[in-house]
Every structure is written in C-alpha cells, then in structure tokens.
Amino acid sequence: MLTLLRNARLKYKFWLLNIVVFAVLCLLVLYAMDTMAGQTGRPFADVFRDTAPGFALVVAVLMVLEMAGSQLLISFIERHVNRLKDTMVSVQGSGNLSERAHVDSTDEIGQMASAFNAMQDRTGTVVRSMKEAIDRLHHEVQELTTAAEARRDDLSRQQAGADRSAEVIETMLQSFTGIAEQAGIAKTLSHEARDTARDGSQRVGQ
C-alpha cells in the first residue's frame, strides 16, 4: 500500500488528500451533531434530521473551495514539474548541454530548475575543458610524430652516410691490400734481380 501510494502520480495523491479532508469534515459534522444532541437533550436522529441539510451545504461549499484550491495547486505544481521533467528527459536523450530549464519561481521547483541549470553549466565547462585538453594532446602528439619522423629521416640519412663511408673504407682497404700485394711481389722480384745481378757479377769476375 505504501509502495502504491509512493509511486502514484502527484494529482492522485492530491485527490486522495481531498478524500481524507472530506472524511474529516464528515466526522466533524457528526461530532458537532452529537454535541448538539447532548447539549439540547434531543435524540441524535432528530438533531441529524434538522441540521443535516445545513451541514451538508456547508460541507459541500467547503469541499468545492478545497477542491478548487487543490486543483489550482495541482495544476501549478504539475505544470512546473512536467516542464522541468521534459527538459531533463530532452537533455538525457539528446545530450544537449546548452538546453536550460525555465525558472519563473523561487520555490522548491524553481530551486531544482536553478540547480539543474547550474549543473548544466558545470558539465558544459568540464566538457569544454576536456575537449580543449584533448585538442592540445592531439596537437602535441602530432608534433611529436612529426619530430619522430624527422629524427627517423635524419637517422636514415646518417645510416646511409655511414654505409657509404663503410663502402669507401672497404674499397680503400681492398686497394691497400692490392698495393701491399704488389709491393710484396715487387720486393720479391727486386730480391731475385739482386741475386741474379750478384750471381752474374761473380760469373763475370771469374
């Protein structure tokens, strides 16, 4: 029962309040009739028969006034609550952080609308800050990527230069090796020629 009452719509709660008020008025009327019967010494039935029409008229007028007032209050509350609810549901569905609730009162509903608008402002500020941070991070990543690519190109050029230098050095080493071999051959031939000349000189002397 409490769960049903808690989950009931606001206007139904007000109608239930009207029923409770009507029951209380009826009990007050019966109490007044009983009091009148006790004070006058008349039977309760006679008092009820004589005063029931007047009390019924009074109760009817009071209930009409009470229901009219409660209906006006219900309409006011439902209009503001539904407007705030529609705004919140729209923001939830669209994610539009620029949408704001209409505030035309300073009561609890107006305070909720103001709090919702303040929350929208803070959320928008946070989202903008995050977007700016992401943009800065993306820009820095691009700069780092460009620098890394330039560094990689420099390293590639340096590696190519080192490879060419290694090729030149290897060619020079091969040339030096050939020269050394030719020098060794020339030295051998020189020694052979010297030995031959010495031998010839000896033969000529003989």
- Measured between alpha carbons, how far is 41 from 156 in angstroms, rounded to an integer? 120
Domain ranges of the chain: 2-93
pLDDT of 206 reads: 64
- Measured between alpha carbons, how far is 25 from 30 in angstroms, rounded to an integer? 9
Q: What is the pTM of this model?
A: 0.51
pLDDT of 61 reads: 92
Contacts of residue 32, defined as CB under 8 A and 6 or more positions apart, other chains included, come to 55
Q: What is the pLDDT of residues 74-102, one digit of tens each?
A: 888 888 888 888 888 888 888 787 888 88
Q: What is the pLDDT of residues 151-176, one digit of tens each?
A: 888 888 888 877 887 787 888 888 77
Contacts of residue 55, defined as CB under 8 A and 6 or more positions apart, other chains included, come to 29, 32, 33
Residue 50 has pLDDT above 80, yes or no: yes
- Measured between alpha carbons, how far is 96 from 94 in angstroms, rounded to an integer? 5
At 168, is the secondary structure helix, strand, or coil? helix
